[in-house]
Amino acid sequence: MQLSEQEIVRREALQKIIDMGINPYPAEAFSVNYTSTEIVENYELSENNFQDVHIAGRLMMKRIMGKASFAELQDAHGKIQLYIARDEICPGEDKSLYNDLFKKLLDIGDIIGVKGHAFVTKTGQTSIHVEELKLLSKSLKPLPIVKEKDGEVYDAFTDPELRYRQRYVDLIVNPEVRKVFEMRSKLTNAMRSFMTDSGYLEVETPVLQPIYGGAAARPFTTHHNTLDQKFYLRIANELYLKRLIVGGFDGVFEFAKDFRNEGMSRFHNPEFTMMELYVAYKDIYWMMDYFEEMVEYVAQAVSGSTEIQVGENLINFKRPWKRYTMYGAIKEFTGEDVSTLDEAGMRAVAKKLHVPIEENMGRGKLIDEIFGEKVESLLIQPTFITDYPIEMSPLAKKHRSEEGLVERFEVICNGKELCNAFSELNDPIDQRERFEKQIELGKRGDEEAMVLDEDFLNALEYGMPPTAGIGVGIDRLAMIMLNQNSIQDVLFFPQMRNV
């Protein structure tokens, strides 16, 4: 391994620290009694508090001025300035703790613990007057140095490849990145508590599945040695959650890592998080209300408002959201009434609207293309689209009144699909026929056609109550609510090519 000049210097410093009799990686705990932000935010309010502060974190800046110095300590919550005077951390004759350890051997990035008292400097900055200093962990790699003045950031660590491959560095030096992930956690917590408060059960279902199902996608495959059997990483957990509804639970949900062996883009990572919820004795109209309420609640919890600025758009999650049928939305945005057209008529409309189509597309696919090309990107505010063509929805119940459609809705927001929901198909005969149609599509070369799951049909044959189900793309929801442009910015460790 080729070491840079700075890395060599740090290894030499490490050895000198050991030579001084100091363990650079001590085993014992360093108990902390305050965090940086607690002190900074509350010092003025409680003048006499914080006189015995134990605080630990990463050394982020040293400003040495001879026999006294300032430094910046960063803990999990923020930064606080340290004031270190030689004669206070070295009250005796031996000044080596200050002159050697602090001034020369401690580097930016080292993890230290200090004891001291809070005070305010001449220039008005709340700081810790250090009385004791202890090295807790020596850092051997130089950190990127990010500077800031008057809210302006200089030399920010921005190379996306380095940021994603070494997210730990990104998190150390880019506080706004930490913030995004803290808010993502808030988001999922808010959803979780909303559903738990409704009385629904959070469950876990298999990631390794002998038959993949619940979505149309190409799977990852793997092999179990003992069983000598092929397994797939799940592309969805839909069919397992429905088995649990058959089993008698009236509401189950799971935050699931799903895996799809497909292209990557700023909206696609090969592994991603989907939240699926199934509630017995409900239909899509109930689910629309429930989802609307949940997202409004989540927006409030995450940002303290139902209005969120996303790029150039101000998105308002306050209920009620606009609702269109798919035909209605096409009519509204293109002026074309396609509801009564046959396949040929649909093809003619697609051509007229300059929607690129292929000869083998059926009526349902044509509708989907027209909607995707001409309507979807125009829907910025959260909008319900209901009543999808049956060909695209093999797990959704037939529409209660419209031939050729199913009871399904999606919510489109910021031009992208946010969720997908059905009144779940619970007729086992119908479900078998839909699977068989998928098998034919598969034989005709559709690599994403669904596979027949005999055990799932077996479960349906025992009887599943009428059920509403929804799948929510958590990464995409996070992108919108946290105003992030790429899925990579809401995943700690986005997939990268191995180097």
Pick between residue 236 and residue 294 the one whose CB is nearest to RNA: 236
Strands 152-154 and 307-310: unpaired
How far is the C-alpha of 90 from the C-alpha of 311, rounded, in Å? 53
The nearer residue to RNA, 191 or 450, going by C-beta atoms, is 450
| Three-state DSSP class for residue 387 | strand
- Helix, strand, coil percentages (3-state) for the chain, rounded to 5, are 35, 25, 40
Q: State in angstroms the smallest separation of the CB of 465 from RNA.
A: 21
Distance CA 118, CA 61 (A): 18
Residues 6+ away with beta carbon under 8 Å from 197: none
In three-state secondary structure terms, 64 is: strand
Q: Which residue's CB is nearer to RNA, number 74 or number 420?
A: 420
Instruction: Provide the b/e sequence for 105-136 (b: ≥16 CB within 10 Å).
Output: bbbbbbbbbbbbebeeeeeeebbbbbbebbbb
CB of 30 to RNA, least distance (A): 23
Min CB(257)–RNA separation in Å: 16
Annotate 121-173 with DSSP letters as a single string. -TTS-EEEEEEEEEEEE---SPPP--EEETTEEES----HHHHHHTHHHHHHH
- For RNA, the closer CB: 11 or 179: 11
Sequence letter at residue 357? I
For tokens 């001025």, what's the residue? 65
- Number of C-beta neighbours around residue 78 at 10 A: 17
Task: Pick between residue 61 and residue 301 the one whose CB is nearest to RNA.
Answer: 61
C-alpha torsion 336→340→346→349, nearest 10: -20
Q: Are strands 322-325 and 383-389 parallel, antiparallel or unpaired?
A: parallel
Q: How far is the CB of 414 from RNA (least distance, A)?
A: 13
Supply 178's token pair: 């930490």
Q: Minimum Å distance from CB 228 to RNA?
A: 30
Nearer to RNA, 124 or 248 (CB): 124
DSSP codes joined into one string, 244-268? HHHTT-SEEEEEEEEE--S--BTTB
Nearest approach, Cβ of residue 475 and RNA (Å):
12
Minimum CB distance to RNA, residue 160 (Å): 4
List strand residue ranges (DSSP E) for 160-305, in order: 201-202, 208-209, 221-224, 229-233, 251-259, 271-280
Nearer to RNA, 77 or 129 (CB): 129
Closer residue to RNA, CB minimum distance, 110 or 190: 110
Min separation Cβ 94 and RNA, Å: 15
Nearest CB to RNA, comparing residues 76 and 156: 156
Contact 120, 40 (CB under 8 A): no
Nearest 5°: CA angle at 236, between 368 and 165? 100
Q: Closer CB to RNA, residue 142 or residue 301?
A: 142
Nearest Cα neighbor of 285 from 417, 465, 466, 407 is 407
Question: What is the closest distance, in whole angstroms, from the C-beta atom of residue 235 to RNA in the complex?
Answer: 9
Residue 241: CB minimum distance to RNA, A: 15
